[in-house]
Amino acid sequence: MTLLDRITTALPRGTAFVGIGTALLGGANYVHLAAAGHSLSVDDMASFSVLWTIVASIGLGLFFPVEQEVTRVVAARVVAGDGALPVLRRGAVLAGGLLAAVLLPLVLFAGPLADLFFHGDRSLIGALAGAFAALACAHLTRGMLAGLGRFEAYGLQLGLDGVLRIALSAGLAFAGVTSPFVFASVMTVAPLISVLVTLPPVLRGARAGSTAQWRELIEHLGLLVGSTLLAQVLVNVAVVSTKLIATDQSALVAALLSALVVARVPVFVFGAFQASLLAGLSTAQAEGDRERYRRLLLRACSITAGLGVVFGVGAVTLGPWMLPVLFGSPDVLGPVDFGWLALGTTLYLLAMVLGQALLTSGAARLQLLAWIIGTAVLLAVTLSPLELRSRVEIAYALGALAVVTVMTLVLRSRVGYRPVHSSE
């Protein structure tokens, strides 16, 4: 069996479809940031960078758990031959409730939040609210599509979102637009259109079934939201913490966002099989197939580590050159900075894989505990007396390492997991 065959069989079913869409969406993030970087002033780009980071942290932290829970519950229903329409209805109420909870503070504290993060530009509070609403819709429908095994439509939604972001952001740059609000609005318009296009397969697959109990969706949701929020804080906080600690370093804030995006290329690739990995683990768990569960986890972890190493070398080598040339970012970061960011990304991705295993094996509380410990390490290093740039970068890597260590210790006792010495 060739290496390509081994990799193909190691990946969960549906990865190819999701992979194409993820590649487009991941590439779109680069085009979007590059277009904004070459069009906006340094201060406006710093505001845009913080908004982009908040959407990627709080937005994903709140709504990606809805996708995960819907995927898990629907996949289990498919195995049992039950319909998923009741899950869609309850999931919509749940996503709407979370959206209302996050929009209320934006309305009540729009002025202070705009002053703190966006140089007083209240229009970016509106753009932030729109992006949250788009994420709520997108993650609910993706959870349905993944649970139903309709990865073609899942990949289509991701891919269309990416194509629209590329077209819109490039069009704005060529038109000479210099408004951070307009560039930020792309994060609302593109995903909402992609949701509307892929809504028919969601509705066709959501046939009537037994009543969905709220306990099915919310039993572990609080734990999962906590875990995901802390995970997103860990991977994104460098930009926001730099902004809060040193309000006058707009150049470093803008450069850090671009550097994180370069170092996190494997995150976009990992998204190609994250949804199908969760569906595969959930199905194996529902069927009681322990050996398949363990094998899938081991192979996913091996592939993830390999992605981190390959792309990490590329980030260290090419990253310092890419920032000013491709993103229009200030030339203030070097290979060492990218080394820390790449190491943190690889460890973060391993933590995401292990977190999927903890979720599907009924250890959501231990998953949250791992992220709490990792966040505590991150905060301790961030508040240390090291030079600002070094401490936010090292904090990212050491925080992720702490999460991986705790999760590995837990999984060794639950599924016989041996991530480093496995030969499978």
Question: Mind giving me the DSSP string for 8-22?
Answer: HHHSPTTHHHHHHHH
Question: Mind giving me the DSSP string for 204-237?
Answer: HH----SPPPHHHHHTTHHHHHHHHHHHHHHHHH
The reply to whether 202 falls in a domain is yes
Q: What is the 8-class DSSP label of residue 386?
A: S
The reply to whether 325 falls in a domain is yes
Q: Pick the more confident residue, 64 or 218.
A: 64
The reply to whether 424 falls in a domain is no
Q: Scan for tokens 């803008």, then name that residue.
A: 254
pTM: 0.72
The reply to whether 49 falls in a domain is yes
* pLDDT for the residue 246: 56
pLDDT of 363 > 80? The answer is: no
Could you give the CA distance from residue 17 to residue 156 in angstroms, rounded to a whole number?
A: 8
The reply to whether 423 falls in a domain is no
Question: Mind giving me the DSSP string for 112-156?
Answer: HHHHHHSTT-THHHHHHHHHHHHHHHHHHHHHHHHHHT-HHHHHH
Percentage, residues of the chain above pLDDT 70: 82
* pLDDT for the residue 359: 75
Could you give the CA distance from residue 127 to residue 242 in angstroms, rounded to a whole number?
A: 22
Q: Scan for tokens 């740059």, then name that residue.
A: 173
The reply to whether 356 falls in a domain is yes
Q: What contacts 350, CB < 8 A, 6 or more positions away?
A: 301, 304, 305, 308, 400, 404, 419
Q: What is the 8-class DSSP label of residue 57?
A: I
- Mean pLDDT over 65-81 rounds to 85
When divided into structural domains, the chain yields a total of 1
Answer positive or negative: Cα dihedral of 81, 86, 90, 93: positive
Per the structure block, which two tokens stand in for 228? 């995901």
pLDDT of 341 > 90? The answer is: no
3-state helix, strand, coil in the chain (%, to 5): 85, 0, 15
In b/e form, how buried is each residue of 304-317, taking b as 16+ CB within 10 angstroms? Answer: bbebbeebbebbbe
* pLDDT for the residue 358: 81
Q: How confident is the model at residue 64 (pLDDT cuts 50, 70, 90)?
A: confident
Q: Pick the more confident residue, 7 or 38.
A: 38
Average pLDDT value over all residues in the chain: 81
Q: Tell me how far CA of residue 365 lies from CA of 51, 98, 163, 347, 369, in angstroms.
A: 30, 20, 38, 20, 6
**How many separate helices (H) and strands (E) can be counted in the chain?**
18, 0
Per the structure block, which two tokens stand in for 130? 């729109």
The reply to whether 421 falls in a domain is no
User: Which is nearest to 282 in space by CA: 92, 422, 146, 153?
Assistant: 146
- Mean pLDDT over 284-310 rounds to 77
Could you give the CA distance from residue 303 to residue 170 in angstroms, rounded to a whole number?
A: 33
Q: Which of 187-201, 204-218, 347-361 comes out lowest in average pLDDT?
A: 204-218
The reply to whether 287 falls in a domain is yes
Most confident of 192-206, 228-242, 387-401: 192-206
Could you give the CA distance from residue 129 to residue 106 in angstroms, rounded to a whole number?
A: 7
> Residue 299 belongs to what domain range?
3-414
User: Which is nearest to 339 in space by CA: 328, 347, 331?
Assistant: 347
* pLDDT for the residue 59: 86
User: Which is nearest to 392 in space by CA: 16, 38, 53, 41?
Assistant: 53
Q: Pick the more confident residue, 103 or 49.
A: 103
- Mean pLDDT over 69-82 rounds to 83
